[in-house]
Amino acid sequence: MTQPLVVDIDPVAFHLGPVQVHWYGLMYLVGFFSAAVLGEYRRRRGRLPVTRDALGDLFFYGMMGVIVGGRIGYMLFYYAGGLRWIWTDPLALFRVWDGGMSFHGGLLGVLVAGLWWSRRHRLHFFDTVDFVAPLVPIGLGLGRLGNFINGELWGKPTQLPWGMVFPHAHGEDVTYATAHPAWLAQLQQWGGLVRQPSQLYELALEGVVMFAVLWLVSMKPRPRYLVSGLFALMYGCFRFAVEFVRLPDIQLGYLAFGWLTMGQILSLPLIAVGLWLLWLSRKAPTLRLYEVAMPAKEGK
């Protein structure tokens, strides 16, 4: 095996005086900004009959849904202490440095925000979801890139030539190699286990592939539910597959059969919902493009 790449990147992008700006936070900002720009592009082409200000409200509420839902989802699905924190330590919800965010919780948060916004603007909920779905993979991919830069959420040990060493995993490397002596030689040779770069797999699948497919499909009007169904089905399948080469959260481990993870369990409903929405789309109406009133240019 050739010398593996060692992923030891400074998670701090730059400093603003005493404030540290992290790459992971920048990924969130770029993801939200990109979604807003492309969303306005789609609005101007008549994909949703709302004003620019109304669309801005949608993205603001969606951003809040990602943050609040993502944190609550992590505490419900992944927190080391289980659900006891609800009555023993409710302030743990606000200790964002202890744990992280859950995609599935963030998705539920966005859906709740979208439902409230859609009712307020008297739009069909799934017209809103179909509009937003092609914009989401940008943030998903950038989030996985942030995980890679942070050297977290690494994959299983591997002999593959593109495997990488994650120094932050050293403690787990020693524990794993002690329990599986066949990997001790690799640990001694490289100073750490060579692991699957599962963050990059998710960047490629959940980010690049999903964005390309959903954007191309949504370039012309489609039946209601189709784009949303494709999003749910693709994400569920991609996440379920990558979990086979990604180590489960250490506080949970495998939940059943020696391979089933919480990420896979939470992805199964998405696969089912995706198939159901695609079935519904067969007889659903195709929305017409709306006329968008453009602001008059100065001097005209």
Could you tell me which residues are annotated as the binding site?
144
Task: Tell me the β-bridge partners of 246.
Answer: 155
Contacts of 42 (CB under 8 A, 6+ apart): 48, 131, 134, 135, 218
Strand, helix or coil at 155?
strand
Strand intervals (E) in 72-220: 164-165, 194-195
Angstrom CA distances, 237 to 206, 210, 259, 267, stand at 10, 11, 16, 7
Structure tokens at 155: 């994959």
**Beta-strand pair 164-165/19-22:** unpaired
The residue behind tokens 């992923």 is: 7
Are 207 and 253 within 8 A, CB to CB?
no
Amino acid at the residue 27: M
